[in-house]
């Protein structure tokens, strides 16, 4: 790949990142209560005011990370600080220390869920903020909640907020998402809390081992989303056969990062396999884009939205493909990068109002009036991807010979 092509892509991704960041700064900030509004229509108008807690944590991470990557900007710092203040003040249940999933615009609890994703993004947000702005209090919060969530992962029944005991569970299953997110959290904590990096490195290894042990299935050419408690393939239930290609591809670059951190050549091969399997079964050859869900045995998927095209799987595939190209030099990964880039910028990118549509119909036309944010879409997957790809392309250009 010649350097001029790499430079052209790099500039394209930086320009798209600038537009994405400006969209959220312009439209989402809650100057009265703190944090961000996450429900934005195509133009950036707020259409609902309840706030997703995990998106406050994601926004905290994103704008702190931008300062760490591109240098200090006051408006980035102010938004990150606003999200941190909102999370600290309103989003933690004082009874058990768990975090809410959704609160009102002024911080009243609305909904709480069993899984620990709100806490996970609070951790990385606090850690990245501490790293960017030398905030010891934020780092201590990240360390406290890392150990809190680690204990939940290691003993989920004991730490279940709904107090469900095994005798009431007729089918015990485990999900890929928990190990995957904690692998990424561990990597961020090792960077931001370097004095204790060895502890995070050890836990990252445990998480990556769990992913390979339980969910990585060479006989199926698949990374499964849900398995039995001992990793068994639940072939007679739709949930056990379900693949989430975007999730698996996101996990692939987390595992590649782990492999690079530990010089684990075998894990690099597994990360490559996961990407190859997932993009092969997940890519829509007729209309383009990545299916939301696929049945590994070819049966009808359970989710009615299985053939929709969402913004975040393409984002994760762009990161994975360019990182795999950087690490392996294999041109097939750059070919995938270009194919994904072509689909994404022709279907998701909104040239008129900025940012990306969140949801497309199977044929690539915008769904839900082209909304830009809701309880699940906020300033995270897209800016993380644009920044990650731009940084990778910069490295490739710098190392070009």
State the pLDDT at residue 401: 61
Contact by Cβ (8 Å): 224, 215:
yes
Q: How far apart are CA 225 and CA 156, in angstroms?
A: 18
Contact by Cβ (8 Å): 188, 124:
yes
- Class of the CATH-defined domain 176-341: mainly alpha
Which sequence spans correspond to the domains of the chain?
A: 176-341
Task: Pick out the chain residues at pLDDT < 70.
Answer: 157-170, 401
State the pLDDT at residue 155: 84
State the pLDDT at residue 364: 98
Name the E strands within 251-399. Answer: 294-295, 309-310, 359-360
pTM: 0.96
State the pLDDT at residue 156: 73
- Please report which residue ranges of 91-218 form alpha helices under DSSP H: 117-133, 136-154, 176-192, 197-210
pLDDT in tens, 26-74: 999 999 999 999 999 999 999 999 999 999 999 999 999 999 999 999 9
DSSP-assigned letters across all residues of 355-366? SB-SEE-TTSPB
State the pLDDT at residue 333: 98
State the pLDDT at residue 325: 98
């Amino acid at each position: 790949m010649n350097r001029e092509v790499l430079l052209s892509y790099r500039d394209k991704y930086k320009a798209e990142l600038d537009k994405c960041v400006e969209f959220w700064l312009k439209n989402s900030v809650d100057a009265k209560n703190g944090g961000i509004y996450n429900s934005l229509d195509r133009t950036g108008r707020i259409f609902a005011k309840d706030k997703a807690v995990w998106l406050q944590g994601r926004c905290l991470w994103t704008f702190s990370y931008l300062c760490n990557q591109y240098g200090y900007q006051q408006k980035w710092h102010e938004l990150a600080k606003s999200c941190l203040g909102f999370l600290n003040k309103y989003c933690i249940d004082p009874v058990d220390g768990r975090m809410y999933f959704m609160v009102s615009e002024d911080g009243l609890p609305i909904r709480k869920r069993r899984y620990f994703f709100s806490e996970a993004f609070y951790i990385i947000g606090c850690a990245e903020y501490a790293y960017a702005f030398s905030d010891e209090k934020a780092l201590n919060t990240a360390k406290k909640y890392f150990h809190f969530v680690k204990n939940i992962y290691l003993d989920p029944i004991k730490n279940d907020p709904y107090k469900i005991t095994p005798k009431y569970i007729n089918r015990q299953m485990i999900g890929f998402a928990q190990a995957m997110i904690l692998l990424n959290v561990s990597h961020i904590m090792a960077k931001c809390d370097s004095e204790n990096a060895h502890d995070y490195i050890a836990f990252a290894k445990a998480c990556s081992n769990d992913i390979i042990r339980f969910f990585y299935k060479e006989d199926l050419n698949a990374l499964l989303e849900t398995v039995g408690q001992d990793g068994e393939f639940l072939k007679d239930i739709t949930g056990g056969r379900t693949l989430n290609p975007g999730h698996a591809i996101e996990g692939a670059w987390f595992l590649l990062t782990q492999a690079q951190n530990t010089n684990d050549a075998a894990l690099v091969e597994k990360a490559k396999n996961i990407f190859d399997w997932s993009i092969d079964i997940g890519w829509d050859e007729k209309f383009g884009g990545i299916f939301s869900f696929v049945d590994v045995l070819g049966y009808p998927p359970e989710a009615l939205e299985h053939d929709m095209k969402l913004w975040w799987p393409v984002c994760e595939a762009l990161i994975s493909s360019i990182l795999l190209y950087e690490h392996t030099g294999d041109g097939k990964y750059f070919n995938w990068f270009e194919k994904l880039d072509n689909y994404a910028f022709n279907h998701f990118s909104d040239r008129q109002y900025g940012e990306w549509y969140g949801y497309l119909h199977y044929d690539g036309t915008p769904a839900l009036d082209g909304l830009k944010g809701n309880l699940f879409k906020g300033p995270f997957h897209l800016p993380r991807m644009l920044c990650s790809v731009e940084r990778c392309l910069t490295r490739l250009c710098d190392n070009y010979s």
